[in-house]
Structure 1
Amino acid sequence: MRGLIAGLGAALLSATLVWAETDPAEAAREAAQRLGRASSMLNDAENARNRVKALTETIHAYEDGLQAMREGLRRANIREETLSRELQSRDAEIGQLLGVLQSIGQTRGPVVLLHPSGPVGTARSGMILSDVAPALDLRAKELRERLEEVTVLRQLQESAVETLREGLQGAQTARSELSKAVADRTDLPRRFAEDPVKTALLLASSETLEGFASGLAGTAVNEVPGSLPTISDRKGELALPVDGRVLRRANERDAAGISRPGIVVATRPGALVTLPAPATLRYRGPLLDYGNVVILEPEAGILLVFAGLDVVYGAAGEVLPGGSPVGLMGGEDTGSDALLIENGKDAGAERSQTLYIEIREDNTPVDPETWFLTDEG
């Protein structure tokens, strides 16, 4: 009996420590508040002087809030499953304790006070019972808290899934508004005008990214001499242009056995791609088998190549400030990934889009992880 009591106490202590470290319900509530703030930012962006910047910040706020909401829901679901399994595994133990209490309750009072070994045995049994009673009270309290927690988590998931859907809708609205704001933007400085005929000829004659990049300078008309301030002092410190994780590193072969000198970043559908530093937009549009491509020049001799976007922003020759949006990833970020949350699957399964990033110095590719901060490098 004492061993059973000690086991119950240890289990309760362990569960309490785990719960103290992380509160899924509180995490989900905080995420809902973040989505609420993003919604307010979307309303404020309507009257913002710089709508592109305001909407960019709004989309980032939605992306952060949605990520936090998904994670909060996932943790709440895992916590609920853990509690349910724990309660099921304790059925036999609880039945044993109830049986002991029932047998004690059915025994007449005077008999309970007697022990076959005499007064000493009676005293010892009384001491054991004095230990059992508080432990049983503690166990009953623990079970009540577990059941209440399961109920709260289930209610939280029902309400949070609806908040998630509203957040997804708000993010989509912000993306649409951003596309309109970029199309209406007329205040950016331009370093050159693009010759569309020369660009078309270059596209038709280029068989590699290297060949296309080497001929880009010839597509510019009336280019202003000079360059933007150097970014070499930020080498190794640039933020990735999209929220994601490195899926494939430089020169690592893919499933088809093809290797490229850039990195592939897995990200969510509809994710916003932004500039990590001020740069001149050299080219945007389809290129070879890379899909939609954006080529940017942060300083003379350095090119940033982002490939695999669904929507691309801007016009060749524009000088974009750091943090400017350059495009959106494809796919549709629907509420269906709530099913992934319910199944407790890894968050990586939701990053269905991939952005290819290449950096060229004097038209020679270098490992992007020497420039960008990544989880892998």
Structure 2
Amino acid sequence: MAAAAWVLALVCVPAGAQEARPAPPAAVEAPSDAAARRATTRAELEAIQHDVELGRERQAEIRREIDALERDRTRVAERLVESATRTRALEAALTAGEARIDGLDGRAAVIRASLSARRGVLADVLAALQRIGRKPPPAILVRPEDARGAVRSAILVGALLPGLRAEAETLLADLEALEALKATAAGERDRYRAEAGDLASERTRLELLIEERRRSKSDQERRLADESRRTAESAQKAAGLEELIGRLDREAVVRPPPPEAEKKLAALGDAGRLQPAFAFAEARGKLPQPVGGPVVRHWGEDDGFGAPSRGVTFAARTDARVSSPCDGWVIFLGPFRSYGKLLIINGGGGYHVVLAGLARIDVEAGQFVLAGEPVGTMGGGGPAATTTAAGPERSALYVEFRKDNTSIDPSPWWASTRDEKVRG
């Protein structure tokens, strides 16, 4: 039975006596085993991301690309929106890849459990081969394909009794399925590594563009500093979000755009605009979602504290880039009450967009931002009221739309995603 021991080791089952073989139970992965497997898979995928580093030549190439913009605000804004869009797509692709790999690993674990439950059949098959003089040396059984070949040989040469033959055919199907899953998982991991490299490149470009945006507005620094001080003072005085937005609106200083910019406000495609391309009320079905993750708590659903949610919660990657859903002016940024780091954008016409749960904010008070322009980055966790909705492996981004300081359902404003279009 030496050959049997090699095959048993192959499927991670200790070799042992098989005097009585009861009917195998249905193969089910234990919850603790599933959790451990997911943790192992996630650690492996995180290691892949950390291993992907841009070479010096690629970094220099991206830097030259950004330097060529020559602090042109319109061109910088265009590249920012384009890069943020690509980054969101790549982040979504990585998330989908992680789900596929986890699913493949889970299916492989179930098959291994099934093989373990029928280890006696495996021993009987090899014993039958030995009886007819087919004694494959242990060395050829160290790979799954060799184990599969041994079982197939036993079936083809008729070495098995009818009852054992049916079990052996099921065993063969499991071994073939396991091999197919391993090949598919290997391909998914290669794809994941390539996408992680693309994302690292795009994030480098995005960070350099954000830095270029900071440099290009040095002439506005004094005004933006004044805005920051004003919003900080307002936050200290306000008791709640409604009062904060009302106070900021009352204190807002209306600044008309320079004459040369007024001619550029009509088209949404003009990245140099300094006012919204169209009224917020007309933007239904046109606004991009701020992150690529799914909505895990909708407007009006229980917020976890027995009250209806005034906004929506997205489950984002812990390092996801966050983009502005609309054109508008940043009227507040910074920590506020239980919201954590808060960003409020005035979309005009009495509309405001609230983003909460960011780890880093890359814009300044008083700054005009475009729909799709990056405004910050997610980190671990999020506001206490929303973290649990995102799950343990995602960050929670809370988004609230307000009209005349009253929360409204944002779902009619989102542009349809590709997945929604496919679903019809």
TM-score normalised over the length of structure 2: 0.56
Selected match of 1:350 from 371, 393, 398 = 393
How far is the alpha carbon of 1:328 from its aligned partner?
0.9
Question: Which of 386, 411, 420 lines up with 1:369 in the alignment?
Answer: 411
Structure 1: 5+ residue runs without aligned partners?
1-27, 107-127, 333-346
CA deviation map 1:291-347 (0-9, x unaligned):
221111233121111112111122233322221011111239xxxxxxxxxxxxxx9
Aligned twin of 1:199: 231
Q: Are the aligned partners of 1:182 and 1:313 in contact in 2 as well (CA < 8 Å)?
A: no
Q: Residue in 2 aligned with 1:184? A: 215
Q: Which amino acid aligns with 1:76?
A: L
Note the alpha carbon deviations across 1:335-365, whole angstroms, 9 max, x for none.
xxxxxxxxxxxx95411x2111111112221
Structure 1 residues 242 and 104, CA gap change in structure 2 (3 angstroms): same
- Give the Cα separation in 1 of the matches to 2:205 and 2:94: 14
RMSD of the TM alignment (CA)? 5.0
Structure 1 residues 151 and 283 mapped into 2: Cα distance closer, same or farther (>3 Å)? closer
Structure 1 residues 68 and 291, CA, compared in 2 at 3 Å: closer, same or farther? same
Alignment partner, residue 280 of structure 1 = 329
Name the residue aligned to 2:385.
Answer: none
Q: Please tell me the residue identity of whatever aligns with 1:180.
A: E
Residue 320 (1) aligns with residue 365 (2) = no
SS in 2 for 1:210: helix
Matched ranges for 1:188-337 at <5 A? 195-196=227-228, 198-224=230-256, 228=276, 229-236=278-285, 238-257=287-306, 260-331=309-380
State the match for 2:148 in structure 1.
Answer: none
- Separation (CA, whole Å) in 1 of partners of 2:196 and 2:290: 25
Distance 1:150 1:253, change over 3 A: closer
Deviation at 1:56, TM superposition (A): 2.5
Q: Which one of the candidate residues 80, 83, 94 is aligned to 2:108?
A: 80
- For 1:100-149, what per-residue CA distance to the aligned partner results, in whole angstroms no more than 9, with x for missing partners? 6666779xxxxxxxxxxxxxxxxxxxxx99997x9999779757645644
In structure 2, runs of 5+ residues without a counterpart are: 1-43, 70-75, 135-157, 263-274, 382-389
| Matched-pair contact (CA < 8 Å) for 2:293–2:314 | yes
| Cα distance in structure 2, aligned partners of 1:42 and 1:84 | 44
Whole-Å separation in 2 of the counterparts to 1:139 and 1:290: 56
Partners in 2 of 1:196 and 1:275 — Cα distance? Answer: 19
Question: How many equivalent pairs are there?
Answer: 309
What SS does the aligned partner of 1:60 have? helix
Name 1:60's counterpart in structure 2.
88
Contact 2:83-2:202 at 8 Å conserved across structures: no
Q: Percent identity?
A: 26
The 2-side partners of 1:143 and 1:217 are apart by 66
Match of 1:124 in 2: none
| Alignment counterpart, residue 70 of structure 1, candidates 94, 98, 117 | 98
Supply the distance in 2 between the matched residues of 1:158 and 1:308 (Cα, whole angstroms): 31
- Closer, same or farther: CA 183–287 of 1 in aligned 2, 3 Å: same
Cα 1:53–1:142 change in 2 (3 A) is same
Whether the aligned pair in 2 keeps the contact of 1:270 and 1:328 (CA below 8 Å) is yes
| CA distances 1:15-42 after superposition (whole Å, capped 9, x unpaired) | xxxxxxxxxxxxx9xxx9xx99x99997
Partner Cα separation in structure 2 for residue 55 and residue 221 of structure 1: 32
Distance 1:328-1:143 versus aligned 2 partners, 3 A rule:
closer
Given residue 317 of structure 1, which amino acid in structure 2 is its aligned partner? G
The letter of the residue matching 1:83 is I
Alpha-carbon offset, residue 65 of structure 1? 4.2
8 Å contact 1:251–1:262 — kept in the other structure?
yes
Q: Is the 8 A contact 2:330 2:364 kept in 1?
A: yes
Superposition map of 1:93-132 within 5 A: 93-97=121-125
Task: Report the AA paired with residue 357 of structure 1.
Answer: V
Letter in 1 for 2:396: T
Contact 1:63–1:171 (CA<8 Å) still a contact in 2? no
On the 8 A contact 2:352/2:401 being kept in 1, the answer is yes
What's the CA shift for 1:200? 4.0
CA distance in 2, matches of 1:130, 1:252: 60
Report the more deviating stretch, 83-92 or 96-105.
Answer: 96-105
Q: Which amino acid aligns with 1:63?
A: E
Shift of 1:73: 2.7
| Higher-Rg member (1/2) | 1
